[in-house]
Structures are given as C-alpha cells and as structure tokens.
A and B are shown apart, each in its own frame.
Chain A
C-alpha cells in the first residue's frame, strides 16, 4: 500500500510549455483532488473528482485540466505554463464512508515556471 504517489517531485518549465503532473493512489478511494500551495496563501483547491469519469472545478481551476479515466489515477495538466503557476502541487485522496472522512496527501510536486 503506497498511499498517494506523485511524480515528478521537481520540475522546471519554460513559459508556454505544457506538462502533466501525475497522481496515483492504490487505496481504491473514489475522491481525489489537487491543491496548490503558495506562500501566504495556504493550500487552495484546483480540481477534484468524485469518481472515474467525474471531475469538477475547485477554487483556482484556470490554466489546468484534469481527467479521471480510472479510480487509481488523477493527472493534472498544465496547458500553457505561466510564471504564476510556480507553486507546490499536492494531490490528495479521501477515505471514509458516510459523514466520516479523512484525507491522505502525496508528497508534492515543486514546479517552477521561468
């Protein structure tokens, strides 16, 4: 049981480039989400998914795309990277049933856009 795995751990992009941040979990969690963490801003929700084939926007979705073709994987795509997307990105999955939930986070991807 590896938990939530994110790759890569570090990435440098040039403005305008595209890339995909990978997130995988082996806990059979239906709910997965992406956050970005910026100094002074805390963690903010980008996109989330409640199951395969279902995604929705969070607080800061612009410039990002997601898809959920399987329960295990929830990749985050940067379509045309901008310096404002320099951040640390965290993927999380949610466990629990009924009203009793908890979250497990990956170790993060540190992205720099130059």
Chain B
C-alpha cells in the first residue's frame, strides 16, 4: 500500500530564507507527483505536477524535484515571503488501475517578516 510522508510537519523561517520541504513515498510505481498549497480554511491549489518521467518542474520561486527510484520529492522555495505561509501537501498517483491520489499529511510553513 502506497504511503506518503512529509517532513517536517511544521517549519518556521524568517522572510528571505530559501527552504526545502520533503516528501517520500513507499512505492516507486507512480504516474506522477503533485504539490499543492492549502491556506487555512481554504481548498487546495495545485502548485507543480511532475510526471514520472521528469526530474523537476519549476514555477517562479518554486522548484520541485522527483527521484522516483528512491521514492523522494522535494519542494524548494526561494526567497520565502510571508505570503508563502500555508500548508504544503504532496500527493502521488500510483500507476495501478483504479488508484487515486494518495496524500501526505502536509508541512505547515510559517514565514515571519
């Protein structure tokens, strides 16, 4: 059974720092991995989607990497800002028929000004 783990569960940094959020998964047979952002009391916003054949994706100050063989992904946030404060969720889709997204429990990021 696929399991997704995110470390750390919470992270506090001062504004301007570069930071890395980690995601690991137990079954490397995945179609893709998606990073989401969730603001308190809100829905999920898709940040980056990495297909299994890709190594990384970039969007603005965000860069996500994928090492499928080791079951790991990282989300790198450059020059963090208070507006980046949110919970970041990692989710994988296994390549077995009928499976859906499996989520980690998230990393709650707080960026102080």
Please list the residues of chain A having a beta carbon within 8 angstroms of any beta carbon in chain B. 33, 35, 40-45, 48, 56, 58, 90, 92, 99-108, 110
Additional 14 contacts, C-beta under 8 A, given A99-B95, A107-B42: A42-B89, A43-B91, A43-B103, A48-B100, A90-B44, A92-B44, A99-B32, A100-B32, A100-B51, A101-B93, A102-B34, A103-B46, A103-B101, A107-B43
- Interface of chain B, main secondary structure: strand
B76 within 8 A of A: no
- Interface of chain A, main secondary structure: strand
* 10 pairs, A vs B, C-beta closer than 8 Å: A33-B101, A35-B103, A42-B89, A42-B103, A58-B100, A102-B46, A105-B36, A105-B43, A105-B46, A108-B43
Contact, CB under 8 Å: A103 / B105: no
Contacts across chains A and B counted by CB atoms under 8 Å: 55
A105 in contact with B49 given A40-B105, A45-B101, A58-B100 (CB within 8 Å) = no
Complex contacts, B41 vs chain A, CB 8 Å: 110
